[in-house]
Amino acid sequence: MRARLDDRLASMSTETANPNLAEIDRWPIERAVGAMLEGQQEAIVALESQTGVIARAAEAAAERLAGNGRLAYAGAGTSGRIGVQDGVELTPTFGWPEQRLAFLLAGGDAAMMRAVEGAEDDADAGQAAVGDAALGPGDVLIGIAASGRTPYTLGALQEARARGCLTISLACNADTPLLAAAEHPILLDTGSEAIAGSTRMKAGTAQKAALNVLSTAIMLRQGFVFRGLMVSMRISNAKLLTRGIAMVSEIAGVGEAEARAALERAGKDIRTAVLVALGMGLEDARARIAKAPRDFAGLVEGMRGR
């Protein structure tokens, strides 16, 4: 039975069974946990060959998003949820506007909390989701599917590219339609899972790590990071307020009290507060950041060189 199953799924390494783990359900649980953790490590190693590919995709996406375009994610099941998880973190971490995000999830919002049977097989729904989101030439769509064959995700990616979007795809099987359909295909060759076909494990880990790196690299190029600090993060609680004050103090070279006052004047916007603490007028600081949002470093250096 196992041999027949492997024959049918031989073209997808993520679906094949690992013969070395065939008895994992009978092992002592500590041994099973060790084997699964080893698989997680292998998932990260699978990304190493894609460093240049991810970098080129990030550069292209950052350039496309230099205007007011949106960053969109498309996927089904585990892959779709991982995309949503990555995207929603960009707003609190980097101040990326919520209106510049779009999530195309097979089965709709309900699929975030529970499986929607058959939704991933509907390519037309993927195409329609792109149309409903009105994605176009100024936008970037990331399509995610461990198999590289999910009809919903493929339909969305093909429609987005036809509409002029920049397209990026992540898949864990080589020579698959999803990789062929995107301008920037990223192969995460994770191979078989500890539990055959359970792509929430190695494949899911690789997808999450790749998206972490990809989206963060895009944010780097948007100017939302300065000297390794999240200078565009949203201050929404006491812990983040303390962190924001420390950033303003460090970058502007002022004391805590002055940093706090500048941050309050700037409406808790860290970049604006830094420029205010360096002596720039509030409205001037806001205008300059709005005009050159990707050149915060240049604005800081300019104030220091006066």
Identity of residue 156: A
What average pLDDT does range 40-57 have in this prediction?
A: 95
Q: What is the mean pLDDT of the chain?
A: 93
Q: How confident is the model at residue 150 (pLDDT cuts 50, 70, 90)?
A: very high
Q: What separation in angstroms does the CA of 285 have from each of 236, 242, 252, 277, 303?
A: 22, 22, 14, 10, 11
**Residue 291 pLDDT exceeds 70:** yes
pLDDT band at 306 (very low <50, low <70, confident <90, very high): low
Share of the chain above pLDDT 90, in %: 82
pLDDT, tens digit, for every residue of 228-246? 999 999 999 999 999 999 9
- Beta bridge pairs of residue 168: 142, 184
159 is catalytic: no
Contact 181, 156 (CB under 8 A): no
Q: What pLDDT was estimated at residue 11?
A: 65
pLDDT above 50: residue 145: yes
Confidence of residue 305 (pLDDT cuts 50, 70, 90): confident
Q: Within 10 A of 265 (CB to CB), how many other CB atoms are there?
A: 15
**Mind listing the pLDDT tens digit for each residue in 178-228?**
999 999 999 999 988 878 877 888 899 999 999 999 999 999 999 999 999
Q: What crossing angle do the helices spanning 51-64 and 202-221 adopt, rounded to 10°?
A: 50
- pLDDT of 303 higher than 50: yes
Q: Using alpha carbons, select from 63, 28, 87, 35 the residue that is nearest to residue 211.
A: 87
In this prediction, residue 197 carries a pLDDT of 77
pTM: 0.91
Would you state the structure tokens that stand for residue 2, as one six-digit string? 């196992």
What type of residue sits at position 220? L
The two structure tokens encoding residue 18: 């690992």
Domains annotated on the chain, with CATH:
48-221 (3.40.50.10490), 238-304 (1.10.8.1080)
pLDDT digits (tens, 9 = 90+) for 154-185: 999 999 999 999 999 999 999 999 999 999 99
Residues 254-276: pLDDT tens digits? 999 999 999 999 999 999 999 99
258 is a catalytic site residue: no
pLDDT band at 85 (very low <50, low <70, confident <90, very high): very high
User: How many alpha carbons lie under 13 Å from residue 198 in its C-beta half-sphere?
Assistant: 9
Q: Which of 59, 63, 98, 120 is catalytic?
A: 120
> What pLDDT score does 207 carry?
97
**pLDDT tens profile 88-133:** 999 999 999 999 999 999 999 999 989 888 899 999 999 999 999 9
**Which among 42, 59, 89, 183 is annotated as catalytic?**
89
